[in-house]
Chains A and B, each alone.
Chain A
Amino acid sequence: MSKPVLGLVLGGVLGIFDGLTAWFTPEVRNELPFIIMGSTGKGLVAGLLIGLLARKLKSVPLGVLCGLLIAAAVTYPIAANPDPNTGKVYFWQIILPGSLVGAIVGFATQKLPTKQAESSRTAAA
C-alpha cells in the first residue's frame, strides 16, 4: 500500500469513527448520516493530502505535526460554521477530533511499512 492510499484508507476509517461519535450528542443525533458522510469525506481528503506529503518526509514528529495541521485546515471551514439547526458553533468539538485523526494518519504514514519503503528495502538488499 502506498503512502497516499494508506492515508486515504486510515483517514476514511477514522473519519467514520469520528462521525459515529456524534451519536453520543443527542441534539445532533438526527443528523448522524450527514455527519458521518462529512467526517468521512474530511478524513479522506486530509488522509490523501497527508499521504502525499508523507512521501517527501522522513520524520515521525514532523509527520504527526503536518498531519495535525493539514487535518485542522481541512476541518476548519466546517468547525467555524454554526450548526444550521441549532445555530451553535461546535468549533473545538469538531476541530480537535478532526486534528486528532490527522495526527494519527501522519504517524501511520511515517511508521507503517508501505510499498515504496518495501521496494527500496528490496533494492538495497
Chain B
Amino acid sequence: MSFLPDPALRRLRDAFDAPDLSDSRYTLLEPIGRGGMGAVYAVHDAALDRRVALKVIDAGAHAESRIVARLEHPGIVPVHDSGTLPDGRPYYVMKLVEGEPLHRVPLEMPEALRVFLRVCDAIAFAHSRGIVHRDLKPENIMIGRFGEVLVLDWGVAAEAHAGAPRAGTPGFQAPEPEVTAASDIYSLGMLLRELVPEPRPPLRSIIERATQQRPEARYESAADLARDVTAFLDGTRVQAHRESLGEAAARLARKHQLWIVLIATYLVLRTILFFWFRR
C-alpha cells in the first residue's frame, strides 16, 4: 500500500528519473512520455538553438540508438546524437516530431490506408536492413504536423535473424515465441484491423492473411502486404482475396464508375434523339 497519492508518486518518480544534462549542450524542457525501453524528454539543443527529443534508455536496451541510426528513412525518426548521462544511463537525441499518435487522429478509410502504406514502407525498409520492430501499434505511429508518418519507439527492435524473444504489446503481438520479420507482418495486420474496424471483404482477406497463426502462411514481406492494400485502394484484384464473379463486376464498376456513367448518359441521350427523329 502506498502512503502517497498516484500523481505525487508519479511526480516523484519523474523527478528521480529526470536526466542530469548539466554538462551537456541540452537543457531539459519537459517529459514527453515513456516508450518501450526508456523515457523521452523534450530538450533544448543550445548549439543549434532548437527543440529536440532526448530518449534515456533503460538498462539492457543499449542497441536501440545504433539500430535507429542504421535506419535512415523518411518514415523513421532520425538520430542526431548519442551519449551517456553522468549516472551511466545511455541516451540518444532525435528529431522532435510535433504531431499526434495515430490512435488519436480520426481518419477516413482511404486516408487511413495511405497512412498504413507509409508504415509498411518504413517497416519494409527496416526488414531490408535486418531489423524487426517488435512493437508495432497505433501509439507508436506518429502523424506529424506536415502529414509525415513516422514509426517510433524502436526500443524493443532486434536483429531479424537473431531469433529474438517475443516482445511488444498484447493484441498486436504475433503468437510465435521467436520473433522474425513475419511477426511484424502480424502486427501490421492487427494495426490494419485497428485502423479499419469494419473492412470490406477484400480488405478483410488482407487482414486475415497478415494475421495467420503460422508465420509462413502470412505475407512474405511488408512490401507484399502493401501491394495488396494498394490493389484494394486502386480497385484492382487483391491477391489474398478469392473474389466471386459478382464481386469482380462490382469492383470493376466501382473502378470505372465515371466511364460507365458517361457511356450510359450517351446511350440514354442517343436513344432520346433516335425516337425524336422517328416521330
Contact = CB atoms under 8 A, between A and B. Distances in A.
A108 B273 contact: no
Interface in A40-63: none
Contacts of B59: none
A97 B277 CA distance: 11
A111 B277 contact: no
Interface in B225-279: 258-259, 262-263, 265-267, 269-270, 273-274, 277
A117 interface: no
Interface residues of B: mostly helix, strand, loop or mixed?
Answer: helix
B270 A17 contact: yes
Interface residues of A, number: 18
B266 A14 contact: yes
A35 interface: no
Interface residues of B, number: 12
Interface of A: 10, 13-14, 17-18, 21, 24, 92-93, 96-97, 100-101, 104, 107-108, 111-112
In the A-B complex, list the 4 residue pairs whose CB atoms are closest, starting with the nearest.
Answer: A93-B277, A104-B266, A14-B266, A104-B262
Contacts of B266: 14, 17, 100-101, 104
A95 B119 CA distance: 55
Nearest to B275: A24
A73 to B, nearest CB: 19
Contact of A96 (B263, B267, B273): B273
A108 B270 CA distance: 17
B147 to A, nearest CB: 8
A93 B270 CA distance: 10
